[in-house]
Amino acid sequence: MKRRQLLSGTATLSGALLLSDQAGAATATPQKKLQPLTGKTHWAVKHVANTDVRLFMWQKQAVLGTGHKAPKGTIVFVHGSSVSSTPVFDLQIAGRPESSMMDWFARLGYDTWCFDCEGYGRSDKSRPVNADIACGADDLEVVSEYIMKINGGKPLLTYGSSSGALRAALFAQRHPERIARLALDAFVWTGEGSPTLAERKKRLPAYLANNRRPIDRDMIRSIFTRDHPGTSDLSIVEAFADAVLALDSSVPTGTYIDMSANLPVCDPEKIKVPTLIMRGQYDGIASFQDLAAFFERLVNPDKQFVVMPGIAHTSTRSKNYALVYHLLERYFSQPQPVYQGV
């Protein structure tokens, strides 16, 4: 077991919100003004190769009507290859409460967390590494240890998208005792039949030659249009790009290398936790057949495979985002089975 140091800090991010009166299902119609949710910054330190790697974490909770903190569970959101965590999970746009996934789920009663993997956003970028999938799973190991010291050791509800789903799946394979429920969105297993990865492989020599790749506004825009134009909410793209580029002008190449040349990076027969597979109808990262084969091999009978209509790779930024929020909240709040067989 590696030695780890746990640190905390003060809040630096918050935003005013308009939010609909929710009982559970997501809705896009704001109805009443609520006080903004204020987040809290935390830091964990990953010790590797005689180096301390500082990892940024961001927590948001809502104080419920009783005055108590969120009782429904702790969600950890895991970001993907090209952007850091807060633009994905806590994007603040006036009058658009649905833009912040963390605010939405905090209002539903969850303790919500996101974090920047090494090499991204506010986390340390000093090591000469390409921050591959295994490195991200290492980060989640440190982050989960920190969070579970705060929540009393309760296993985590974990959502990952794209390479974030691969990071989360590999972590669940290593540490099933820390996962209550696992949601894998825009996931890929072998990559067979993926048009997006077929194009990415053409640039593999450039990724192998560098630990980082540049990102710019055009690249970020392309995320929303590459699979199936019309599925994404383009009205938020510029605000999203502003938030991304304020933190990074380049990102690590490791996840692109893994997804182009090293799949599979996890084994479904070794993932023993309840698992939800979420696939957008038009997602170009993974074929339906690839995910169906992965789903079939999952050993825990508490598993679901959902195809989300009218959605491509970026489900939470799609026009059908409310469907994504609904599916995820229902999965995270699902009762435990009374009878589980003999």
Cβ neighbors of 170 (< 8 A, separation 6 or more) are 133, 134, 136, 137, 265, 266
Place of tokens 């987040």: 39
Q: Which two tokens mark 255? A: 């996840």
Q: What is the pLDDT of residue 66?
A: 57
How far, in whole angstroms, is CA 192 from its chain's centroid?
23
> One-letter amino acid identity for 120?
Y
Q: What is the pLDDT of residue 241?
A: 97
Q: Which two tokens mark 107? A: 């209002």
pLDDT greater than 60 at residue 67: no
Domains of the chain: 5-332 (3.40.50.1820)
Could you give the percent of the chain with pLDDT greater than 90?
83
299: closest CA among 271, 277, 334, 278? 271
Spatial distance between the Cα atoms of 126 and 68, rounded to a whole number of angstroms: 40
Q: What is the pLDDT of residue 49?
A: 86
Lowest mean pLDDT among 17-21, 26-30, 70-74, 252-256: 17-21
Using 50, 70 and 90 to split pLDDT, how confident is the model at 69? low
pLDDT greater than 50 at residue 12: no
Q: What is the pLDDT of residue 341?
A: 79
Query: The pTM is what?
Result: 0.90
**What is the average per-residue pLDDT within 164-180?**
98
DSSP label at 180? E
Q: Which residues pair with 254 in a beta bridge?
A: none
**What is the average per-residue pLDDT within 159-174?**
98
